[in-house]
């Protein structure tokens, strides 16, 4: 029998699809199972038209990787002369996600079209002669010289931006895209406010790029049960939830001390996980605390930061955890500070003296008599204190070991003029971070001396 086609399959109930499947012969059932068009949601299928770049910019779990892999599969099945570049932030990610991942090429290609993968050559060869090659955007010069007919670029928003590597890798890729008669690129990414993503979005206006946008919700049927709800609980109504789940490009605030692009660039490529004790790479771990102004204040900022073995002069600071609590009594937030200090093996707690003075120290001592506390006095406004720390971020001297949605929203709301335009009444989490980073990187600098000869 001939397999039925049409949009009704995408809208049919599971019962109707099951009934349809039972009517198929074994070979037809296999073909139906392997036919991505029958199972994909609309955002995973290439747009029509004469585009050069197809940008799939959507939330986590949208199915971007599967869309890119299936597009490469279709290209290589149709053309045995195809030469496809597979570009990721690193070769390890290209292999783990684009090739060997659950939604990668090896998983989505049918047995009769599954490529032979040669890791040592970073090459895939398909049965009909088409080939695909792995590249790292961290090594832009590796794309200088090779020629391709197509390319799939994964998570371009997280490509490394130091020394403009992301844009250099993209430019070298474009210059080598000169094989075949219909050169095209599929770029998949979560929205990031970085120059390369913005450059591709600009191409939508002149017609050179087709942009597919979407949310995590669009692919709910293929995600683990409860995943969407769990992510909503984790990220709540933060701006990063709009970016990571709703696929929204967050606009930068003009005059803000921190930008989304800077925060994305400082995120650890391979976030490390500590078991609770001080990691051997860290010389110090401190906890910054911004106490509530009242007994039942809106929020107590509690941020864990570490200094690596390089020291304050040449090393980096790492933001390890945001343990802030909201609407807590003094006893409760003090216990949260003590618990964070024990869990991370902190050698110092830095708390602001202005909010309650000696009361802050007494509350912390009551929670843990052995807690190493140092009170600091805020002689300048929050913005003025934050400016040197923001400069450390710009210089690449601070890294984030993960994503801290509420904290990063506050950082992006701190303005150079002294005002605060982020969520909530006060940047309590951001201020706690500033105290911690100041202690680690700016607190003990040698002053220049004048010698008389």
Burial of 180: CB neighbours in 10 Å, binned 0-12, 13-18, 19+: middle
Model pLDDT, residue 70: 94
Q: Are the CB atoms for 231 and 237 separated by under 8 Å?
A: no
Which residues is 124 bridged to in the sheet? 117, 132
Beta strands in 53-120 (DSSP E): 53-58, 83-88, 116-118
Phi-psi region for residue 68, left (φ > 0), alpha (ψ -120 to 50) or beta? alpha
Regarding pTM above 0.85, the answer is: no
Model pLDDT, residue 275: 46
Model pLDDT, residue 270: 55
Model pLDDT, residue 411: 94
Structural domains in the chain plus CATH codes = 40-222 (3.40.50.300), 263-442 (3.30.420.240)
Nearest to 287 by CA among 335, 331, 329, 345: 345
| Whole-angstrom distance, CA of residue 206 vs CA of residue 185 | 16
Give the helix ranges, DSSP H, for 85-226. Answer: 91-93, 105-108, 165-175, 195-206
- Digits of tens for pLDDT over the chain (453 positions)? 333 445 555 565 666 666 766 776 665 555 555 666 666 778 888 998 889 999 999 988 899 999 999 999 999 999 999 999 999 999 999 999 999 999 999 999 988 889 999 999 999 999 999 999 999 999 999 999 999 999 999 999 889 877 889 999 999 999 999 999 999 999 999 988 788 998 998 888 788 899 999 888 888 877 888 888 888 887 777 777 888 888 887 777 778 999 888 888 888 865 454 544 556 779 999 999 998 876 655 789 999 999 988 777 778 999 999 999 988 888 888 889 999 999 999 999 998 876 655 577 777 877 776 788 888 877 677 778 899 999 999 999 999 998 898 899 899 989 887 788 888 888 999 999 999 999 999 875 444 444 443
Which residues is 213 bridged to in the sheet? 57
Nearest to 322 by CA among 347, 287, 357: 287
Q: State the Rg of the chain over Cα.
A: 26
């Amino acid at each position: 029998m001939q397999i039925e086609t049409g949009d009704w399959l995408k809208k049919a109930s599971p019962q109707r699809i099951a009934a349809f499947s039972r009517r198929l012969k074994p070979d037809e059932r296999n073909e139906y199972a392997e036919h991505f068009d029958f199972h994909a949601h609309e955002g995973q299928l290439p747009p029509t038209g004469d585009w050069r770049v197809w940008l799939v910019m959507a939330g986590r779990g949208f199915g971007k990787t599967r869309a890119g892999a299936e597009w490469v599969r279709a290209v290589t099945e149709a053309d045995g002369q195809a030469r496809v570049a597979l570009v990721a932030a690193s070769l390890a990610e290209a292999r783990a996600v684009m090739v060997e991942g659950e939604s990668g090429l090896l998983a989505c290609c049918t047995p009769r079209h599954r490529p032979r993968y040669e890791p040592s050559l970073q090459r895939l060869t398909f049965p009909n002669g088409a080939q695909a090659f792995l590249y790292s955007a961290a090594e832009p010069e590796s794309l200088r010289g090779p020629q391709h007919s197509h390319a799939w670029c994964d998570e371009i928003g997280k490509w490394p931006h130091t020394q403009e590597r992301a844009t250099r890798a993209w430019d070298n890729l474009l210059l080598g895209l000169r094989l075949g008669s219909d050169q095209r690129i599929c770029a998949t990414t979560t929205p990031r406010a970085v120059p390369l993503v913005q450059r591709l979005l600009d191409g939508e206006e002149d017609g050179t790029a087709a942009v597919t946008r979407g949310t995590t919700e669009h692919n709910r049927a293929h995600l683990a049960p409860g995943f969407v709800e769990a992510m909503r609980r984790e990220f709540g109504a933060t701006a990063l939830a709009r970016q990571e789940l709703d696929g929204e490009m967050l606009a930068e605030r003009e005059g803000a001390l921190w930008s989304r692009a800077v925060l994305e660039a400082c995120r650890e490529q391979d976030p490390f996980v500590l078991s609770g004790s001080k990691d051997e790479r860290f010389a110090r771990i401190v906890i910054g605390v911004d106490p509530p102004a009242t007994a039942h204040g809106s929020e107590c900022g509690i941020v864990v930061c570490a200094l690596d073995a390089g020291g304050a002069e040449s090393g980096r600071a790492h933001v390890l955890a945001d343990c802030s609590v909201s609407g807590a009594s003094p006893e409760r937030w003090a216990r949260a500070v003590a618990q964070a200090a024990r869990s991370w093996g902190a050698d110092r707690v830095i708390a602001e003296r202005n909010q309650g003075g000696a009361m802050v120290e007494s509350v912390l001592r009551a929670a843990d008599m052995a807690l190493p506390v140092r009170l600091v006095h805020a002689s300048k406004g929050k913005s003025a204190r934050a400016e040197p720390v923001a400069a450390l971020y710009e210089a690449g001297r601070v890294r984030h070991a993960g994503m801290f949605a509420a904290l990063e929203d506050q950082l992006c709301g701190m303005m150079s003029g002294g005002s605060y335009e982020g969520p909530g009444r006060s940047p309590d989490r951001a201020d706690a971070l500033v105290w911690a980073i100041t202690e680690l990187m700016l607190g003990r600098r040698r002053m220049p001396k004048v010698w008389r000869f």
